[in-house]
Structure 1
Amino acid sequence: MSERRHHRPMRPGDRFFDDLLGGTDPALVSEAADRAATLLVRGAHGADDGAVAERLLHLADTEGIEAIAELWSGAAPESLAGCLWRLYVLRSWVHADPHAAAREYDAGLPRAPLARVVAGVAEPPGPDELKAMIDQVLRGIAAGDFADVLFRAAAFARVVAAGRAGLSASSDEQVRRMLAVSEQLEAAAHHELAGRLS
């Protein structure tokens, strides 16, 4: 029979908590992100002040898309924070590469005729028209119905996904990602209509 040595359980000591106490509590970050999204969407809604709509529109420009990503990218798609993340990513993509956005949107028009109508892009859908449309959609956070904002953005993403599916330069993964954005925004719009989006 071998002799077993019993070890005393290790105690973490003070240094164990250094990272824990010095780091940011993920629950607090998530709560702050949700609160900020709620204030932006619900607080801005119905504001007749055009400056409010412009500040919302240019939030990613002034704060940086990276700061917005840090705040909202991990939020659930059916939350206000998740919706704002998807809306700002779409706008950033259109403004960063309007020619590619126009090419993909144009390629999707015959494949998604209903979504084309809902998106409301001026014809013909060139780079400037797409930038104007996506900006108008985001201004709607302050001036319009948030469900309409989400439905229009979802329709736009659906047309782009259809266009990507028809272009040989796009990968299946790019098509799937854009289609997922469309479906998530559309589901969130239905949640908004039902009063369940928060």
Structure 2
Amino acid sequence: MGDFPRPLVSGPQFFEEIPGVPDPAEASAAGHRVAQILVRGTRPDRSGIVERVVHLVDTEGLGTLADLWSTAPADSVAGCLWRLYLLHTWVHRHPGDAAREYAAGLAHASVQNVVAGVAAPPTPDDVVTLVDAVLRGIVQSDFDVILDRASAFAHVAAVGRGQLDSGDPHSAARLLDLAQQLRHAAALERTGDLL
């Protein structure tokens, strides 16, 4: 007799035996749990975690973080972390552009500059230092303050990007949207409504 394939298993076991993509609802729930642990986890001696959080993109890759958080709503902890890591990645990949756009926005967004806390005029090292401090703050500081700083930085850079006419009129608007989302999330965090 020849080799015959095994018959298909019917019932609930059928779906358990099919390899493939994890359940999107489970993946989303896992992403939200990880975000909550990073931001709201226990505070005693978290010094070892701080540098791991700052370098999470380097060790895990932006794609892994996208799988965890990119579909999370902007008014959730997971959605905030996704936006913070996007901002961090952009600045690390293009620190000269980030510093130039931020400098161009200073004259038009001086209040946000005070909140962001970037030296004027900023150097590429200054903007990298800021976004690293923001990520360190995820586990060291009040989350609303971190969101406000990141929002203010993104706002000034977006205004500067618009002033410099980067060739993509939607680019500055997208960065400004990110700033507004982070600002709104900071307000929700202060009232205890950021999930």
Does 2:187 match 1:196? no
SS in structure 1 opposite 2:180? helix
Task: Give CA-to-partner distance per residue, 1:137-171, whole Å, 9 cap, x none.
Answer: 11111111000000000000000110011012242
The residue type equivalent to 2:29 in the other structure is E
Contact 1:102 1:126 in 2 (8 A): yes
Shift of 1:71: 1.0
Which of the residues 30, 33, 38 maps onto 1:32? 30
Deviations along 1:5-30, one digit per CA (max 9) or x if unpaired, are: xxxxxxxx96xx75995442111111
Task: Name the residue aligned to 1:139.
Answer: 136
Name the CA distance, whole Å, in 1 between partners of 2:75 and 2:118.
25
Whether the aligned pair in 2 keeps the contact of 1:47 and 1:143 (CA below 8 Å) is no
Structure number, greater radius of gyration: 1
Change (3 A) 1:118 1:178: same
CA distance in 2, matches of 1:174, 1:70: 23
* Aligned length, in residue pairs: 184
Any residues of structure 2 matched to 1:115-194 within 5 Å, and which?
A: 115-194=112-191
What's the CA shift string for 1:23-57, capped at 9, x where partnerless?
4211111110100100111116x444432211111
Per-residue deviation at 1:123?
2.7
What is the alpha-carbon distance in structure 2 between the residues aligned to residue 49 and residue 141 of structure 1? 11
**If the length of structure 1 is used for normalisation, what is the TM-score?**
0.87
| Mapped partners of 2:55, 2:185: distance in 1 | 22
Question: What percent identity do the matched residue pairs reach?
Answer: 48
Partner Cα separation in structure 2 for residue 133 and residue 122 of structure 1: 10
Deviation at 1:114, TM superposition (A): 0.6
**Residues 1:85 and 2:82 aligned together:** yes
Given that 1:86 and 1:181 are in contact with CA atoms closer than 8 Å, whether structure 2 keeps it comes out as: yes
Q: Structure 1 residues 20, 158: CA separation in 2 closer, same or farther (over 3 Å shift)?
A: farther
Q: 1:96 aligns with which of 90, 93, 103?
A: 93
Q: Which runs of 5+ in 1 are unaligned?
A: 1-12
2: CA distance between counterparts of 1:33 and 1:89? 16
TM-score, normalization by structure 2: 0.88
Decide whether the 8 Å contact of 2:147 with 2:185 is kept in 1: yes
CA distance in 2, matches of 1:20, 1:140: 43
Tell me the C-alpha RMSD between the 2 structures.
2.0
AA in 1 matched with 2:150? A
Q: Which runs of 5+ in 2 are unaligned?
A: 1-8
Alignment partners' CA distance in 2, 1:74 and 1:20: 27
